Structure 1
Amino acid sequence: MSNEILVLYYSRYGHVAQLARLIARGVEEVPGMRARLRQVPPVAPITEVAQPPEPEAGAPYALRQDLVDCAGLALGSPTRFGNMAAPMKYFLDSTGTEWANGALAGKPAALFTSTSSMHGGQESTLLSMALPLLHHGMLLVGLPYTEAALSATQTGGTPYGASHVAGAQGDRPISEHERELARALGRRLADTARKLAA
């Protein structure tokens, strides 16, 4: 069994990518576990437009094989009208073969997002990303209220997953509570994957 957690994200302005790196840090705080950072490419109105084989910045583009190889999955997307962004949905829609083969069944998964406003649809976005993972047979891992920051946060952080409130101009840095909860989610996901493997 792999000891790698796939941290897969789409990020337009960099906030989801920052959360992904924090979750990856949390994953690697669990002895023996490693994070594999990957992103999904943007989509164009004409989706046949080819993307360069490597993105200009950030993690490499994900391959469906990354899903097969992983011991667990952290999935992140910004909010688009209370739902995951189109590039993430497009990528997930391409995973029919993995669904048919049960490649993700029984593996743990966690979710993360970023919005511009406090009530910009964080929880509904996390739930929208949970739906295809449930169809894949994944085991969802959230953030329990035993994480003190979940009760104390005045910014992002939900029981459904890690989150960030970026502000209307997208200039609000990730808060200490948001950082703490993202790392906690990574640790919880990696620890769950390790226990399931044992």
Structure 2
Amino acid sequence: MTDADLEHGLAALPESDPSVGVGRFRRRAAQAGLLDVAYAVTDSPLGPLAVFVTPRGLVRVAYQGEPIDEVVADVAARVSPRLLLAPEQTDAIRRELDAYFARRLESFSVPIDWTLVRGFARGVLHATAAIPFGQVTTYGHLAEAAGSPRAARAAGNALGSNPIPIVVPCHRVLHAGGGLGGYTGGLDRKRILLRIEGVLTD
């Protein structure tokens, strides 16, 4: 099965029941190694989340405020254009997110694909991924953990561009004075996540 076969097959799916054909071609594309990125949209207490996975792991999580067509285009350009809406390929992360929001999971086990993160930001997000459930740190401490103790502002910028929020828990980073700081998904979502983890109780 080639890329041309896949494109031709998808274009020829019967209108009467496209889901049957689409599911078949999704599976065949994955089995033939022609599907590099699978994505799906899943419900959550924070609103719909778009999740993107590659054979290496979870590469992107997007909140509702990010237009899905723009996120898809960005992932296609920066990771691979061989991208398909394929919910069955995202089952593992969607199950873990459901368990996390139900307070039945404290540590994600899905592997991470760091393709979208480079340089200093990767070090910052690696350090962020190590912050345990229910604990918080500061931008300064995070910068130090990433090897640049004077780069608290740069660490904050790296968190602001975190492509995998929730799973790479940038919501666990606060200002040194105890303020919430910023959050890519908005402070209301940050508060919800910190309440789920018992950091905030109000």
TM-score tier (shorter):
under 0.3
Output the TM-score relative to the length of structure 1: 0.24
Q: Which has the higher helix share?
A: 2
Q: Structure with the greater relative contact order (CA < 8 A, sep ≥ 6): 1 or 2?
A: 1
Going by fraction, where is strand more abundant, 1 or 2?
1
